[in-house]
């Protein structure tokens, strides 16, 4: 494995390493292959060029194929950034004690975001919070801040319950050295029995029932409210209170200075924050919520290390913060290190990941490639930041507007003191950021629906670095969408967010290429232009097929030497991708599904994202952050576990998928008939091959249109509209060819 190993704590010669990095053995193979494939790509472009200049039969079809191939070539070239210097890191948390005593660990503020109690069940959020509150970390240094953008009593109520349950759960986990500290997952796993297990389980179940009852009823039953303080907290939900219009609500649910667990030990701080909202002031979605937490926490605990988490990403390993410290506290580490990113991994993905929702490349395979160049992307969740990184570059500090919010400000007042609470409410106000640097130079950056990638990128442009930490045991596990519609909406949102980045003032194309190492910038260019993949996907899904239906050949004949170039390009595009996927522990079917989903996304979410982005930049429509649902419907989940794709809703994004499935089937059968009757196989072979490949990929779509009777099948409306559109397309093609 190790081609070269670099010991990272060279200054402390005697002490054992806290972490190592090695170049992956495949690096040279990658580089050589890139060189060979680049020649093939150039040859293809040369062929197009010859065609353009000399051919008398150059048509609109040739132009479209040129466009498709040029975009593919560009995306391929930019992807090579990831493949040039991939590395693998390892951490040794057991050695941390040689560098720092536990009592000298930095304080840690954990930020958890939630936005909608109906799409993100409060019990999910509570489980995430409990799993981190129970970290193996000095409790008095740990604070958990929950941002509730849904402004929901239900979420607050769930956290009041969680605060009570934590007093039992935390000592139980620590005493019995439980590894699984997310209670839901722990009890589901049928744990071994300790004397208190049943009692704790009952407590958990009864909390769950109360919270779920409240969610079902849509309000908190008065009987559940046990004390005056709680009553006072809920009194903020007055008649005019809506999730889009309400004052800020900040509740300290556990105070480390006062509250003790059932065994008399201190508890971590637990603070509920629902920032002020007003319909007239933009709130910048999750980035805005995180900036509020940055300020509220600055006024309360101001920990130098921050962990950001999405509400569904529970901790799966109580040692995770210590792993992060192996980088953050290493005296020989580059002081420009801004964040340690753990991969986004998921719980409950079905056997072969039918939706490719694991994003194995983006969350597991590509980040080590970027890490070797300067640092991984930020994935929004599972990331330990140095607070200082949010305030200017490593050597150019940008002070916040108030010294009390500065990362260097030392806290002395108790978190529940009047001044501290007043400051917290003030900085959570919806007009607070006006005329400040928040969102532009300080904190999470605004202007993109992928605030995570964008913020990480902007930090790196300022000179910050990052590290990708991928331990064997997953550090965090989250939910992935289990319906196709949810998944496509998620990637549509990402597409728009990525285009925001591409066309921003700080675009990787103009800015990144100057600020970062060029290969590193290529990676960002590649991601930020993801949605343009839709162009070749759409062209390749329809054009060769329409040509085939008209017996019109657009690729070289089998006997033509150029034919082999196409075959090589096809295999060479899939081969490395396949190998990387399998080396990352994937299955053959998982890979197949993943490549299918890339085509599906290209047809639907990427193209819709591209169009919506264009419309919103023309001011025709506004783009928002449509939160992915984490609610599981039992029938849907049953189908998901059986590996059946869920269509069910009449989403316009299904139209291009269905149309492509129909047209490929027709052209494939027509092509076969044609060559068996009239010959010409040589000239049409590549088109038949492409259509055949698409037909095999479209199998689940045919099933959903014709064979299935369950509720998840393709809505008849979508099938009918697709048939009509395909017919129109075919008629139009008769005029073209």
**What residues make contact with ligand UPG under the rule CB under 6 A?**
113-115, 120, 147, 149, 285-286, 289, 310-311, 344, 380-381, 449-452, 490, 493-494, 497, 625, 627-628
Nearer to Mn ion, 357 or 499 (CB): 357
Helix axes 60-84, 518-528, angle to 10 degrees: 130
Shortest spacing between CB 347 and ligand UPG, in angstroms:
13
Q: Which does 484 bind (CB under 5 to 8 A by kind): ligand UPG, Mn ion, none?
A: none
* Annotated catalytic residue within 116, 136, 149, 312: 149
Q: Which does 113 bind (CB under 5 to 8 A by kind): ligand UPG, Mn ion, none?
A: ligand UPG
Per the document, the length of the chain is 737
Nearer to ligand UPG, 266 or 294 (CB): 294
Cβ-in-10-Å burial (0-12, 13-18, 19+) of 732 comes to: exposed
The token pair at 363 is 């969350």
Does the annotation list 630 as a binding residue? Answer: no
Cβ-in-10-Å burial (0-12, 13-18, 19+) of 703 comes to: middle
**Catalytic annotation present for 149:** yes
Nearer to ligand UPG, 291 or 674 (CB): 291
**Catalytic annotation present for 452:** yes
Listed residue (515, 485, 503) closest to 600, CA to CA = 485
Rounded-to-integer distance, Cα 555 and Cα 686, Å: 7
Shortest spacing between CB 624 and ligand UPG, in angstroms:
8
| Cα dihedral 238, 242, 244, 249 sign | positive
Q: Which does 494 bind (CB under 5 to 8 A by kind): ligand UPG, Mn ion, none?
A: ligand UPG
* Annotated catalytic residue within 116, 312, 452, 486: 452
Shortest spacing between CB 312 and Mn ion, in angstroms:
6
Rounded-to-integer distance, Cα 649 and Cα 718, Å: 9
The label of the residue with tokens 């193996």 reads 136
Which own/partner pairs from 215-222 qualify as long-range (CB within 8 Å, at least 24 positions apart)? Answer: 215/117, 215/118, 215/121, 215/122, 215/154, 218/154, 219/153, 219/154, 220/153, 220/154, 220/157
Q: Which does 490 bind (CB under 5 to 8 A by kind): ligand UPG, Mn ion, none?
A: ligand UPG
Site for Mn ion, residues 259 to 318, rule: CB under 5 A: 310
Cβ-in-10-Å burial (0-12, 13-18, 19+) of 247 comes to: middle
Q: Which does 286 bind (CB under 5 to 8 A by kind): Mn ion, ligand UPG, none?
A: ligand UPG
Rounded-to-integer distance, Cα 516 and Cα 624, Å: 30
* CA angle 455–456–459, rounded 5-degree value: 85
The token pair at 42 is 């150039």
Shortest spacing between CB 215 and ligand UPG, in angstroms:
16
* CA angle 418–302–317, rounded 5-degree value: 120
Does the annotation list 286 as a binding residue? Answer: yes
Nearer to ligand UPG, 287 or 519 (CB): 287
For 412-434, b/e burial (b = at least 16 CB within 10 A) is eeebeeeebbebbbebbbbebbe
Nearer to Mn ion, 59 or 628 (CB): 628
* CA angle 378–380–384, rounded 5-degree value: 70
Nearer to ligand UPG, 147 or 248 (CB): 147
SS3 assignment, position 196: coil
Q: Which does 625 bind (CB under 5 to 8 A by kind): ligand UPG, Mn ion, none?
A: ligand UPG
Nearer to ligand UPG, 115 or 303 (CB): 115
Does the annotation list 310 as a binding residue? Answer: yes
State which residue has the least CB distance to ligand UPG. Answer: 380
Q: Which does 364 bind (CB under 5 to 8 A by kind): ligand UPG, Mn ion, none?
A: none
Shortest spacing between CB 224 and ligand UPG, in angstroms:
24
DSSP labels, 354-412: TT-TT-HIIIIIHHHHHHTTT-PPP-SSSEEEEGGGGBEETTEE---SSGGGSTTPPP-
Does the annotation list 149 as a binding residue? Answer: yes
Number of residues that bind Mn ion (CB under 5 A): 1
Shortest spacing between CB 605 and ligand UPG, in angstroms:
12
Site for Mn ion, residues 53 to 72, rule: CB under 5 A: none
Shortest spacing between CB 498 and ligand UPG, in angstroms:
9
Does the annotation list 479 as a binding residue? Answer: no
**Which residue ranges make up the annotated binding site?**
119-120, 149, 286, 310
The residues carrying an active-site annotation are 149, 452
**Which residue ranges make up the annotated binding site for UDP-alpha-D-glucose?**
119-120, 149
**Which residue ranges make up the annotated binding site for Mn(2+)?**
286, 310
Binding site for Mn ion (CB under 5 A): 310
């Amino acid at each position: 494995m190790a081609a070269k190993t670099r010991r990272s704590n060279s200054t402390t010669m005697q002490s054992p390493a806290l972490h190592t990095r090695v170049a992956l053995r495949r690096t040279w193979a990658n580089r050589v292959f890139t060189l060979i494939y680049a020649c093939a790509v150039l040859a293809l472009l040369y062929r197009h060029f010859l065609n353009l200049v000399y051919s008398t039969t150059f048509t609109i079809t040739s132009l479209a194929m040129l466009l498709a191939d040029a975009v593919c070539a560009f995306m391929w070239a930019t992807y090579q950034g990831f493949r040039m210097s991939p590395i693998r890191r390892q951490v040794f948390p057991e050695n941390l004690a040689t560098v720092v005593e536990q009592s000298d660990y930095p304080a840690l503020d954990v930020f958890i975001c939630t936005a909608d109690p109906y799409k993100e069940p409060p019990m999910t959020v509570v489980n995430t919070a409990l799993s981190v509150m129970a970290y193996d970390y000095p409790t008095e240094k740990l604070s958990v801040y929950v941002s509730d953008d849904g402004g929901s009593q239900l979420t607050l109520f769930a956290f009041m319950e969680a605060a009570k349950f934590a007093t039992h759960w935390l000592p139980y986990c620590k005493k019995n050295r439980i590894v699984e500290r997310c209670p839901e997952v722990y009890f589901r796993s049928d744990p071994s029995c300790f004397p208190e297990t049943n009692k704790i389980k009952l407590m958990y179940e009864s909390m769950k029932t109360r919270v779920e009852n409240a969610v079902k009823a849509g309000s908190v039953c008065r009987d559940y409210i046990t004390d005056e303080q709680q009553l006072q907290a809920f009194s903020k939900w007055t008649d005019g209170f809506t999730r889009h219009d309400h004052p800020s609500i900040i509740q300290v649910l556990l105070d480390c200075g006062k509250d003790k667990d059932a065994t008399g030990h201190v508890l971590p701080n637990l603070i509920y924050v629902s920032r002020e909202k007003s319909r007239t002031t933009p709130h910048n979605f999750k980035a805005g919520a995180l900036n509020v937490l940055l300020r509220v926490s600055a006024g309360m605990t101001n920990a130098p290390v921050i962990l950001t988490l999405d509400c569904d990403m529970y901790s799966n390993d109580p040692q995770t913060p210590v792993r992060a410290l192996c980088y953050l506290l290493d005296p020989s580490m580059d002081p420009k290190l801004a964040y340690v990113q753990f991969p986004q991994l998921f719980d409950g993905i079905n056997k072969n990941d039918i939706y490719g929702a694991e994003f194995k490349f983006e969350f597991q395979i590509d980040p080590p490639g970027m890490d070797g160049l300067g640092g991984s992307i930020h994935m929004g969740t599972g990331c330990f930041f140095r607070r200082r990184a949010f305030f200017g570059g490593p050597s150019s500090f940008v002070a916040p507007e108030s010294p009390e919010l500065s990362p260097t400000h030392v806290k002395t007042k108790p978190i529940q003191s009047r001044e501290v609470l007043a400051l917290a409410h003030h900085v959570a106000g919806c007009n607070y950021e006006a005329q400040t640097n928040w969102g532009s130079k300080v904190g999470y950056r605004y202007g993109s629906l992928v605030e995570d990638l964008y913020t990480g990128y902007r930090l790196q442009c300022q000179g910050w670095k990052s590290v990708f930490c991928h331990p064997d045991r997953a550090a965090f596990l989250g939910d992935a969408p289990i319906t196709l519609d949810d998944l496509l909406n998620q990637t549509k949102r990402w597409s728009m967010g990525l285009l925001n980045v591409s066309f921003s003032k700080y675009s990787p194309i103009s800015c990144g290429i100057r600020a970062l190492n060029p290969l590193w910038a290529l990676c960002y260019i590649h991601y930020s232009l993801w949605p343009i993949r839709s162009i070749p996907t759409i062209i390749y899904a329809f054009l060769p097929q329409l040509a085939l239906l008209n017996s019109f050949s657009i690729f070289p004949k089998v006997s033509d030497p150029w034919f082999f170039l196409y075959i090589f390009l096809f295999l060479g595009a899939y081969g490395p991708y396949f190998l990387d996927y399998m080396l990352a522990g994937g299955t053959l079917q998982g890979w197949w599904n993943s490549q299918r989903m890339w085509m599906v996304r290209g047809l639907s979410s990427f193209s819709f994202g591209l169009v919506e982005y264009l419309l919103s930049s023309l001011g025709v429509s506004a783009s928002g952050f449509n939160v992915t649902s984490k609610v599981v419907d039992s029938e849907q989940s049953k189908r998901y576990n059986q590996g059946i794709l869920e269509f069910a809703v009449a989403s316009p994004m299904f139209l291009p998928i269905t149309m492509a499935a129909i047209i490929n089937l027709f052209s494939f059968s027509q092509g076969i008939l044609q060559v068996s009757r009239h010959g010409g196989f040589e000239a049409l072979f590549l088109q038949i091959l492409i259509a055949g490949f698409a037909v095999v990929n479209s199998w689940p779509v045919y099933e959903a249109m014709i064979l299935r009777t369950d509720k998840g099948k393709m809505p008849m409306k979508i099938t009918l509209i697709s048939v009509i559109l395909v017919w129109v397309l075919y008629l139009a093609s008769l005029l073209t060819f």
